[in-house]
Amino acid sequence: MPRFHHANLGVPPGLEDAEGAFLVDILGYRRIDVPADLVGVARWYEADDASQIHLSTDPDHRPAARAHTAVEIDTEVESRLRAAGISYRTTGRDGLTVLFCADPAANRWELRIAG
């Protein structure tokens, strides 16, 4: 049975810190060490369930128009998005509140809040 391990997202040079702040401050990931050969090339972040988001510096980064990463998240994410000045769109689906936003590198996110 497959189990999700990580998603790898591209980040333009110079946005690595802003992208990391989005993952930590908005989504609640924590930064973890990368293998020595990836220092300066990638950054890794982990959630409490051990799933990870890897960020790879990509000078040719072009965010996808529709592709996105979806995560289940706590109810406070909306106030954190507002406080950070990050625009989002809200919809409901199957008893969930679903927020769509973009991170600093313009990667799309679907934030699913059970409610």
The span from the CA of 74 to the CA of 23, in Å, is 14
What's CA 25's distance to the chain center, in Å?
A: 11
pTM metric for this prediction: 0.93
Domains in the chain (CATH in brackets) are 6-114 (3.10.180.10)
Query: Residue 49 — very low, low, confident or very high, per pLDDT cuts 50/70/90?
Result: very high
Single-letter code of the amino acid located at 26: I
The span from the CA of 30 to the CA of 48, in Å, is 9
- Collapsed DSSP state (helix, strand, coil) of residue 4: coil
Please tell me the predicted confidence (pLDDT) of residue 94: 79
Strand partners, 93: 96
Q: Are 55 and 16 in contact (CB under 8 A)?
A: yes
Q: In which element (H, E) is residue 31 found? A: strand 30-32
How do beta strands 6-11 and 52-57 pair? parallel
Give the pLDDT confidence of 54-101 residue by residue, as tens digits. 999 999 999 999 999 999 998 899 999 999 999 999 998 778 899 999
Q: Phi first, then psi: what are they for 92, rounded to 5°? A: -115, 145
